[in-house]
Amino acid sequence: MDATGAGYPGTWSEFVSWFPDEAACLGYIERLRWPDGMACVACGAGRGWRTGQGRWWVCAGCARKTSVTAGTIFDKTRTPLVEWFAAAWWVTSQKYGLSAKGLESALGLGSYQTAWMMLHRFRVAMARPGRERLSGRVEVDETYVGGDEPGVRGRQTATKSILAIAVEVKEPKGFGRVRLAHLDDVCAQSLVPFVCEMVMPGASVMTDGWAAYAGVSGHGYAHEKTILSASDDPAHVSMPGVHRVASLLKRWLLGTHQGSVSPQHLDAYLQEFVRHEALSNRVGCKAPPPGCRSSPVKLRAA
């Protein structure tokens, strides 16, 4: 397939020959977006013409001007499309996670801010809102991330973020899909809506004895409660799925983002982590780290 279809180059050298300049990138977006000719959102006319060399088209029916990049991740940015396209290539070819620093150096971008903004738009575009809810048996717990960089001990509580984790438990063993959310607190009014949003009614929801979870049984779930303090099991035995996800997530944040997790960007990171784990399927195939006796999933005061 060549650049006149809706295909995509298979190698970097093909990529470079497909997209040598802005005009080639614009043409590609136009063919993807308007395969049957420019479509006007205002009057529905199916015909128009390009104004000059740029992104702007004029409708033949109502003379409305439309940018071919309007409503796409390339909209309202001064970053050239060739850089956007190269960034897309880089983002989709990374196996070990994404960072703005990595994108900046891979593309030789002049600015960390630009790299960060591009990556942020890719993350939002790749997230899947309205995904199916988890079913069967589901472990649910919370953990904290961020704020434990050396030298900032005094501000830990101000910079830590609360995460809720839901993990499908497969029979006879292994784990299925994962859902994560950034919560304001660990009260019932945060945790119960998290369960309702992420888990199908009829599922069995496994939690510890934290009182905030008591309300889930009123929303169509079978609630299985494990009181950790009353059992000798460490968290990774009674809640192996959430324990596994929490430790993978923390290791991944450290490796990919150097542990610097700003609360306002955490949701984008979480989406990326879930996608990354789904791709590499690591959650489902490994036991908890050997020798791990602590309870990193449980940090709140019970």
Nearer to Zn ion, 68 or 245 (CB): 68
Nearer to Zn ion, 63 or 187 (CB): 63
CA dihedral 278, 282, 288, 294 (to 10 degrees): -60
Nearer to Zn ion, 39 or 127 (CB): 39
Q: Is residue 39 involved in binding Zn ion (CB under 5 A)?
A: no
Q: Which two tokens stand for residue 75?
A: 């909209």
Q: Say how far apart CA 8 and CA 29 lie, in whole Å.
A: 12
Binding segment toward Zn ion, per CB under 5 A, in 42-50, 117-125, 143-151, 153-161: 42-50
Nearer to Zn ion, 40 or 266 (CB): 40
Q: Is residue 41 involved in binding Zn ion (CB under 5 A)?
A: no
Q: Say how far apart CA 222 and CA 202 lie, in whole Å.
A: 7
Q: Say how far apart CA 228 and CA 207 lie, in whole Å.
A: 10
Q: Say how far apart CA 133 and CA 67 lie, in whole Å.
A: 36
Q: DSSP E strands: which ranges in the chain?
A: 48-50, 56-59, 65-67, 137-145, 161-169, 175-183, 204-208, 222-226
Count of residues in contact with Zn ion, rule CB under 5 A:
8
52-91 footprint of Zn ion as x/- string (CB under 5 A):
-------x-xx-x---------------------------
Smallest distance, Zn ion to C-beta of residue 42, A: 5
Smallest distance, Zn ion to C-beta of residue 71, A: 16
Smallest distance, Zn ion to C-beta of residue 61, A: 4
132-171 footprint of Zn ion as x/- string (CB under 5 A):
----------------------------------------
Phi, psi of 197 (to 5 degrees): -75, -35
Q: Bin 76: left if φ > 0, else alpha if -120 < ψ < 50, else beta.
A: left
Binding segment toward Zn ion, per CB under 5 A, in 37-45, 103-111, 115-123, 147-155: 37-45
Q: According to CB under 5 A, which one of 32, 42, 152, 237 is a site residue for Zn ion?
A: 42
Binding segment toward Zn ion, per CB under 5 A, in 38-46, 112-120, 131-139, 232-240: 38-46
Q: What is the DSSP track for 150-187?
A: TT-GGGHHHH-EEEEEEEEEPSSS-EEEEEEEEES-SS
Instruction: With beta carbons less than 8 A apart as the criterion, state whether 122 and 137 touch.
Output: no
- In the complex, the residues that contact Zn ion under the rule CB under 5 A are 40, 42-43, 45, 59, 61-62, 64
